[in-house]
A and B are shown apart, each in its own frame.
Chain A
Amino acid sequence: MALATEKTLPSARPLLEATIERIGQVILGKEPQLRLALACLLARGHLLIEDLPGVGKTTLAHALAKILGLNFKRIQFTSDLLPADILGVSVYQPETHSFAFHPGPIFTQLVLADEINRATPKTQSALLEAMEERQVTAEGNTLKLPEPFFVIATQNPHHLVGTFPLPESQLDRFLMRIELGFPDRAAERGLLKGRDRRDILETLAPVLDGARLLQLQREAARLHASEALLDYVQNLLAATRRGGRFAEGLSPRAGLALLAGARAWALLAGRDMVLPEDVQTIAPAVIGHRLRPAGDEAERREVLVQRLIESVPIP
């Protein structure tokens, strides 16, 4: 932000800035996406990264886990992946004549669900349910997932063969969806010239830990959102529900997501209040995947959201 208008939180700002800076060393030239990803995490949401293979999705997840001091597991989704492969499995113990639950890879603070659209819908929904409820029910026992719990799912664009694109209702489970895109020339040169990313990841020192992150999440959720700002959020929601521009209007859940995202973004910016700009900034990532244009307009979602924002005056 150009202005130093904000009362800065004493500890959050430098920590978060340091985090961004540190990840920026690994993922070159992608600061806006990094900030969004971090905001998504602070808003206790899950992130969907949709892009081609090889643009650094996995590296981003890895780097986030490292720097935030979270334990990390990666699940590679394939068409033969079963729900049990994610959630865990009960195994018979001949010694005790009983079943013991072996937790699956989801019992991790940061899960990378790689190429989620390669798995069958059944497996996808097992993951998505766990994401939503933050717990796993197996053999009648309910097991809490660790805190913080953050899923980064990656998805290949739909036109690739052999995928099960996530249905609209499931997309809603992700607070944000971002695209990384190709790096610009300078960033790519840095990538080519620099060390192997894996080596850098190895040496990366954490800035935060789980407890600190939880505290930041709570701070974000408490951030002040004034009546005027809520008016603005509601106006945005209302604008999607009328006028026939979109197939369906935004759900109340989308409204909550918008507000949570904006709060996290304001926290990242070091402010103690949410501004309309925060909403506008995170809106493409938060509602882009929740809106479907009416008719067969083949417009990019980001453009749609931008137009929506431009059509709604700030009250």
Chain B
Amino acid sequence: MTTAVSLTPTPAADRGALLALEIAGLVAVAPHALELPFWVVLVFAASCLWRYVIETGRGTRPGRILRYTLAALVLAAVFREYHSLLGRDPGLALLIALLGLKLLELETRRDYMLSVFLFYLVTLGSLLYAQTLPISAYALVSVFASTAALIRLNQPTGLARRQTLGLAATLLAQAVPLMLVLYVFFPRIQGALWAMPPGGGAARTGMPESMAPGNVRNLTESAEIAFRATFEDAPPPMRDLYWRALALYVTDGQEWFRGRWSRSGAESYTALSEPLRYEIVLEPTFKHWLPALDLPTEAPRGAQFQSGFTLTHAEPVRDRRRYTLSSHTRYRTAGPTAGERAGALQLPTNLSPRVRALASEWRARGDPAAIVQAGLDYFHSENFVYTLSPPLLGADPVDEFLFETRRGFCEHYAAAYATLMRAAGVPARVVLGYQGGEYNAAGNYFIVRQYDAHAWTDVWLPERGWVRVDPTAAVAPERVELGLEAVRRLQARGAALGTLPAADALRAIEPGWAESLWFRSQLYWDLANITWYRWVADFDKERQARLFARLGLDRLPGSGPLIAILSGAAGLILVYGGLLLWRERPRLDPTQALYLKFCRRLARAGVARTPHEGPLDFAGRSARRRPDLRARIDIITRRYVRLRYGPAPEKAELGLFRHEVRSFRPSRKRA
């Protein structure tokens, strides 16, 4: 029957069903507009419209040739976009665009149902990009819409719109417990699904792997969040928030690279302050490095130390990563190895004479600490300007910056300073990372954005080891004390950097109440998102294992907790189902149960009762077959009939009946 039904065309007049379907489709597809090329969503929406016009009888269905042409066009366009048809993005683009075209040929009920099921898949697809709170919440809305459409399709006339929506909501609500159980206990799929290559080149703003004039500055345009950091105890002051990402040793005069001194294993250092424990939630970078506060003590799982106390992860960070670290902000490091020392003194071959002359002037002072200070004084006193829009530099950026433009961003200062130090004989390296961050008081964590990207230097002093020196701070202390956003605001107000006392600077950038409300709400929104991530989206294999361990499930033998959980769940479902069946079981009253026992005994004696045989008929028949039992059968049947069908039987009757049935033990032999 059902197959026959499923093949019958949906009545053409049922415009409501189409509308429900299209709404569900648009809801499912809409979030993809953010990630996929716009034309994909447009194709889908246009198809919806076209199909609706057809339904109203004002348009014609596209013929087969047109449909195939459109499908081929979609294929070609996706390929043109991604140079591939495989991978997450091209796959989703293809799915959505073709699903739109599929709407044009909706015919049977089966087509409708299939479309809805694919909408669920499209909804799932939106979670492939990110499982943030808004996206997850939206996915729920989308599932609701698809479910409502499904109900509408199965109830061609039955339910009012409110009932349909109500039923869909009820269904979803009923699914919640199961969803939670599955969420917690279902084996987490790590990597395979989520690390699906995005297809095509993923161009993202983020910390570059090398430093050239201008490429850190480019990041200052981006307010994208780089990572969030939560300290277990009181956070250190802003000026200590130097988040190391990369240590750069090699320079060609233009650009700085990491060089070949990377090595595994932590360099040792002596802590001079209490350890700070903190957790970092890193947004995808598609790079290997992991930011860590100056200086981390040990590498988190899956990561290892590179030279310069930087951490790299074995795999590029393709999705949000959460790791816990501890750092000491005061420290004394050991000396560099010979190789590292040589690397930290490497100079570009074409170092300009002016730079060389300046450096050798400082070198003459002998004491490395004095040289370091001389460099900072030079920046401070020589009319250098910290600016977010430095002039472009030519072939020898360090020389040009130091002696001509004197307007630069942090990377200019870091590069020039490190070059000068090296030329003056002090081992130095450039460190790329982030500085500062926005403190979210509501959630007690720092939000570090791309525009917090920063470059500074480490210099090596004989008695103190590697020392962090930030030449930018010598020029614009506000950058370090207040953050880049403050600098931007100060500059917008025409204030000169490095001149105002910190309190005045703060007052100068005091936001208005509306603005501060906006900031505050942003912070709360961020808190909601990150809480969602930490408690829900980031429930990965490792955390699941930890939960199982806490529940004592990890000690189970065999394939471990998974099997136990699954069989436990299956058992629970069976018990629940059994309970339902038990509750719905036909209640046999005692009379009937005893009578059935009597029938079973007679059956063993050779007379089986058919289910539709009345008691008197059966008694007559069995008495004819077994005349030897006639008297007993008569008595029992008479009693049964009175108990079961008679008016108000006496209580004692049942006892007698029970006795009669139990003592009824007919022999098998035929009389």
B614 touches A277 (CB 8 A): yes
A33 within 8 A of partner (CB): no
What B residues does A310 contact at CB under 8 A? 610, 612
B226 within 8 A of partner (CB): no
B612 touches A273 (CB 8 A): no
Shortest beta-carbon distance, B201 to chain A, in Å? 62
A272 within 8 A of partner (CB): yes
Q: Which of B588-647 contact A (CB under 8 A)?
A: 589, 592, 610-617, 619-620, 623, 634, 637-638, 641-642, 644-647
What A residues does B610 contact at CB under 8 A? 310
Q: A3-B638, A5-B634 are in contact. Are A226 and B644 (CB under 8 A)?
A: yes
What B residues does A5 contact at CB under 8 A? 616, 634, 637-638, 641-642
Bound-state Cα–Cα, A39 to B646, Å: 20
Bound-state Cα–Cα, A273 to B619, Å: 17
A224 within 8 A of partner (CB): yes
Using a Cβ–Cβ cut-off of 8 Å, how many residues does chain B contribute to the interface with A?
Answer: 23
B616 touches A313 (CB 8 A): no
What A residues does B647 contact at CB under 8 A? 224, 226, 272-273
Shortest beta-carbon distance, A31 to chain B, in Å? 18
What A residues does B612 contact at CB under 8 A? 280, 309-314
A43 within 8 A of partner (CB): no
A229 touches B614 (CB 8 A): no
B638 touches A226 (CB 8 A): no
B614 touches A276 (CB 8 A): yes
Shortest beta-carbon distance, B288 to chain A, in Å? 67
B616 touches A3 (CB 8 A): yes
Bound-state Cα–Cα, A311 to B611, Å: 8
What B residues does A314 contact at CB under 8 A? 611-614
Shortest beta-carbon distance, B618 to chain A, in Å? 9
Bound-state Cα–Cα, A2 to B642, Å: 16
A280 touches B646 (CB 8 A): no
Bound-state Cα–Cα, A58 to B16, Å: 62
Bound-state Cα–Cα, A312 to B615, Å: 15
> Looking at the complex, which one of B589, B634, B646 makes contact with A3 (CB distance below 8 Å)?
B634
B614 touches A2 (CB 8 A): no
* Main SS class of interface, A: loop
Shortest beta-carbon distance, A307 to chain B, in Å? 10
What B residues does A311 contact at CB under 8 A? 612
From A224, which residue of chain B is reached at the shortest CB distance?
B647
Shortest beta-carbon distance, B115 to chain A, in Å? 32
What A residues does B641 contact at CB under 8 A? 5, 273, 275
Q: Which of B271-311 contact A (CB under 8 A)?
A: none
A224 touches B646 (CB 8 A): yes
- Encoded as 1 (CB less than 8 Å from any B CB) or 0, chain A from 212 to 240 comes to 00000000000011101100000000000
Bound-state Cα–Cα, A310 to B616, Å: 16
Bound-state Cα–Cα, A223 to B289, Å: 92
> Looking at the complex, which one of A3, A224, A226, A309 makes contact with B637 (CB distance below 8 Å)?
A3
What B residues does A274 contact at CB under 8 A? 645
**Which of B637, B638, B646 counts the most A-chain CB atoms under 10 A from its CB?**
B646
Bound-state Cα–Cα, A229 to B643, Å: 12
A1 within 8 A of partner (CB): yes
What A residues does B617 contact at CB under 8 A? 277, 280
B619 touches A226 (CB 8 A): no
Q: A314-B611, A314-B612 are in contact. Are A3 and B620 (CB under 8 A)?
A: yes
From B611, which residue of chain A is reached at the shortest CB distance?
A313
Shortest beta-carbon distance, B576 to chain A, in Å? 27
Bound-state Cα–Cα, A309 to B613, Å: 9
Bound-state Cα–Cα, A41 to B620, Å: 28
B634 touches A273 (CB 8 A): no
B620 touches A276 (CB 8 A): no
What A residues does B615 contact at CB under 8 A? 275-277
Bound-state Cα–Cα, A228 to B610, Å: 17
- Encoded as 1 (CB less than 8 Å from any A CB) or 0, chain B from 329 to 365 comes to 0000000000000000000000000000000000000
What B residues does A313 contact at CB under 8 A? 611-612
Apart from A272-B646, A274-B645, what are 9 other A-B pairs with CB-CB below 8 Å?
A1-B616, A3-B620, A5-B616, A273-B647, A275-B614, A277-B616, A309-B612, A310-B612, A313-B612
Write the residues of chain A forming the contact surface with B, with a CB cutoff of 8 angstroms: 1-3, 5, 224-226, 228-229, 272-277, 280, 309-315
A-B contact pairs, 29 of them (CB 8 A): A1-B616, A2-B620, A3-B616, A3-B619, A3-B638, A5-B616, A5-B634, A5-B637, A5-B638, A5-B642, A224-B646, A224-B647, A225-B645, A226-B647, A228-B592, A228-B644, A272-B646, A273-B646, A275-B614, A275-B645, A276-B645, A277-B615, A277-B617, A280-B612, A280-B617, A309-B612, A310-B610, A314-B612, A315-B592
